[in-house]
Amino acid sequence: MVKSKEWNWEIVNGDNANIWLEASVESYYLLSRWKKQGKKTFLDLGCGLGRHTILFAKEGFNTKAYDLSKNAIERAKEYAKKEGLDVEFKIGDMLNLPYKDNSIDCILCINVISHTDTEGMKKIISELKRVLNKDGECYLTLGSKETWGFKREEWPLVDKNTRIRMDDGPEKGIPHFYADYPLIQELFKEFKIEKISHIEDFWEEKGKTYNSYHYHVLIRKN
Ligand X SMILES: C[S@@+](CC[C@H](N)C(=O)[O-])C[C@H]1O[C@@H](n2cnc3c(N)ncnc32)[C@H](O)[C@@H]1O
Tell me which residue has its CB nearest to ligand X. Answer: 48
Residue among 31 and 72 whose Cβ is closer to ligand X: 72
Alpha-carbon distances, residue 137 vs 24, 90, 116 (angstroms): 18, 21, 21
Residue among 22 and 86 whose Cβ is closer to ligand X: 22
Residue 141, H or E segment: strand 132-144
Closest approach, Cβ 45 to ligand X, in A, equals 7
What is the spatial distance between Cα 146 and Cα 4, in angstroms, rounded to a whole number?
Answer: 24
Terminal CA-CA length for the chain? 28
Binding site for ligand X (CB under 6 A): 4, 6-7, 20, 46-48, 51, 67-69, 72, 93-94, 110-112, 115
Residue among 70 and 160 whose Cβ is closer to ligand X: 70
Residue among 23 and 193 whose Cβ is closer to ligand X: 23
18 and 82 Cβ atoms separated by less than 8 Å: no
Strands 162-164 and 157-159: antiparallel
Closest approach, Cβ 8 to ligand X, in A, equals 8
Closest approach, Cβ 16 to ligand X, in A, equals 13
Closest approach, Cβ 153 to ligand X, in A, equals 23
Other Cβ atoms closer than 10 A to 190: 11
